[in-house]
Amino acid sequence: MELWLGITLVAAFLQNVRSLLQKRLTGALSVNGATYVRFLYALPFAWVYGLWLWDGQIAGLNTQFWLYVLTGAVAQIMATACLLQSFTTGNFAVGTAYSKTEAAQAALFGLVILSDTVSLWVVAGICLSLVGVVLLSGRIGLADLLKPNRAMWLGLAAGAGFAISAIGFRGASLSLDDGTVLQRAGLTLLVAVTLQTLIMGSYLRLREPGQISRALAAWRVALWVGVIGMVASAGWFTAMTLQNAGIVRAVGQIELLFTVITSVWLLGERLHRREVLGMILVVSGIWLLI
């Protein structure tokens, strides 16, 4: 197994765990407040990790790095906002399905911005896994997907935001002149999480006063969200430094399989033929990718 693939699988699993923990916070926090927790509580661990990798001697950060990492940080926040907004339209499944075009959009943006080329096998794998993800996203038909609506546009915007953030973080890491793969990915993570904590913290302070205090009060669960989220993010950033961001994000869609398996194991939910077919297509698409 190639290193980037193993790291991606672990990151996808940990992201699923982090999401489950974040859901426990939605009763005490707003959606944005629960989202902010992933940045706030990951921040100290990202700094410890980054400084440990660089032995306290961080390399010079060039202008290109700052442009890439700032773009990635802002795009990820905006993508999350669009995805959450799509859920309020009543078309949860449609918004989720279109947000999963992230991998295909990342491959396109990667080609345009970073000149990351992909083979026809990779394109086929991304498309196949995307169909599988749509089947796993909810009980929606082709007519629902082809009908233009607000959820569709918000989902596409979310997918574009996540794709741009992946390209931004990969570009930032690759733009650094010095350091190993782990060092460059760790430094990019450190700066990105710092920017996101500051940006989203400022938003909550102005628009949702009281949420930061509630986030701090929920530290018992939030601390684990931060630790697990930081390790997962370190995995994503490292994998995207090693490999095309579109491919990494497509393989990362296996997270949805972990979600389904968790639902069956913990909640006793039954699998239907649609979910089984979706799982087969996701795995087949990933097999084509690798």
Domain boundaries along the sequence of the chain: 3-289
Q: How far is CA 9 from CA 29, 131, 145, 234, 255, in A?
A: 30, 20, 28, 13, 8
Is the pLDDT confidence value at 23 over 80? Answer: no
pLDDT of residue 235: 96
Q: What is the mean pLDDT of residues 189-217?
A: 95
Q: Which helix (H) or strand (E) holds 124?
A: helix 120-137
What band does 244 get if pLDDT is binned at 50, 70 and 90?
very high
What band does 257 get if pLDDT is binned at 50, 70 and 90?
confident
Least reliable range by pLDDT among 105-109, 224-228, 229-233, 252-256: 252-256
Q: Give residue-wise pLDDT tens across range 68-106.
A: 999 999 999 998 888 877 766 666 667 777 888 888 899
Q: Considering the chain, what is the average pLDDT of its residues?
A: 87
Task: Provide the percentage of residues in the chain whose pLDDT is more than 90.
Answer: 51
Q: Residue 248, class by beta-carbon neighbours within 10 Å (0-12 exposed, 13-18 middle, 19+ buried)?
A: buried
pLDDT of residue 139: 67
Q: Which residue has the higher pLDDT, 50 or 264?
A: 50
d(CA 290, CA 287): 5
Task: Provide the percentage of residues in the chain whose pLDDT is more than 70.
Answer: 91
pLDDT of residue 8: 95
Q: What is the mean pLDDT of residues 13-20?
A: 86
b (16+ CB within 10 A) / e for 6-28: ebbbebbbbbbbbbebbeebeee
DSSP string, 218-250: THHHHHHHHHHHHHHHHHHHHHHHHS-HHHHHH
Q: Give residue-wise pLDDT tens across range 55-66.
A: 877 767 899 999
Q: What is the mean pLDDT of residues 117-127?
A: 89
Contact 204, 32 (CB under 8 A): yes
Q: Give residue-wise pLDDT tens across range 133-184.
A: 878 766 666 565 666 777 788 888 989 999 999 999 999 999 998 899 999 9
Q: Give residue-wise pLDDT tens across range 276-290.
A: 888 888 889 888 887
pLDDT of residue 145: 64
pLDDT of residue 65: 96
